[in-house]
């Protein structure tokens, strides 16, 4: 099976109750193999192609890619040849996280496209919500300001204010006046995209 580890990871994302280990993948003893279908195989190929292209572009722009991306590149090369000798459970964990990361990155691509295609600027001293991304342990609120720059607020799902925050945004048509709140930010970069991470909102 081509892209065996990635295919297993995609199937496992549908069936999180099945425990997967590297040794079980290598000798095909994992229960997950009984549940793999053609959609899993197709999705694994899509994920591999997406990240190969993404990493190639990033490496052309900046040779100093992160350790995570170097490990991801190593995984993709091994997946192409199904050569996992010497890989430990950390590589399994990386592969198992890829389907979720892939969906997140697709949503981030949409945010970038919407930012690029915007024709009407946000009112001065305001930020407007572009998209809410639901991650594993937190939610991300991506705003655009009147400079057409991205701002991101992360709220842990355990935060009791999450529901109130959603209601507050809805009541204000997803448009907030910065002057009415005390907002502090830190400059960040994700995949070459500059944005401001909101560290305090009120």
Contacts with 103 (C-beta within 8 Å, 6 or more apart), sequence order: none
Q: What is the pTM of this model?
A: 0.85
Cα(39)–Cα(10) distance, rounded to whole angstroms?
Answer: 9
Structure tokens at 197: 């991470």
Cα(100)–Cα(172) distance, rounded to whole angstroms?
Answer: 31
Please, are residues 141 and 90 in contact by the beta-carbon 8 Å criterion?
no
Domain segments of the chain as ranges:
4-106, 118-200
Structure tokens at 101: 């990361």
Measuring CA to CA, which residue among 159, 162, 123 is closest to residue 143? 123
Question: Is 168 a residue whose pLDDT tops 70?
Answer: yes
Cα atoms found within 13 Å of the Cα of residue 171, Cβ hemisphere only? 6
Q: Is the dihedral of CA 66, 70, 71, 72 positive or negative?
A: positive
Measuring CA to CA, which residue among 161, 144, 163, 141 is closest to residue 152? 141
**Lowest mean pLDDT across 14-23, 66-75, 77-86:** 77-86
pLDDT confidence bin for 59, thresholds 50/70/90: confident
> What are 143-155's pLDDT values in tens digits?
999 999 999 999 9
Question: Is 101 a residue whose pLDDT tops 70?
Answer: yes
pLDDT confidence bin for 157, thresholds 50/70/90: confident
Q: Can you give the C-alpha Rg of the chain in angstroms?
A: 20
CA dihedral 102, 108, 114, 120 (to 10 degrees): 170
**Percent of the chain whose predicted confidence (pLDDT) is above 90:** 39
């Amino acid at each position: 099976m081509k892209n065996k580890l990635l295919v297993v990871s995609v199937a496992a994302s549908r069936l999180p109750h099945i425990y997967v280990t590297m040794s079980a993948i290598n000798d095909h003893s994992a229960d997950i193999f009984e549940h793999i279908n053609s959609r899993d195989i197709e999705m694994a190929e899509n994920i591999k192609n997406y990240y190969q292209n993404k990493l190639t572009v990033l490496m052309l722009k900046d040779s100093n890619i992160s350790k995570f991306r170097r490990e991801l590149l190593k995984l993709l090369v091994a997946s192409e040849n199904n050569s996992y000798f010497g890989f430990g459970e950390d590589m399994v964990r990386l592969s198992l996280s890829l389907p979720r990361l892939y969906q997140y990155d697709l949503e981030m691509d949409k945010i970038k496209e919407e930012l690029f295609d915007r024709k009407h600027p946000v009112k001065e001293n305001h930020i407007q919500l572009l998209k809410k991304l639901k991650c594993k342990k937190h939610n991300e609120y991506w705003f655009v300001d009147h400079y057409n720059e991205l701002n991101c607020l992360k709220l842990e799902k355990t935060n009791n204010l999450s529901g109130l925050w959603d209601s507050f945004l809805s009541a204000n048509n997803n448009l907030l006046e910065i002057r009415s709140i005390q907002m502090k930010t830190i400059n960040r970069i994700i995949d070459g995209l500059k944005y401001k991470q909101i560290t305090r909102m009120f």
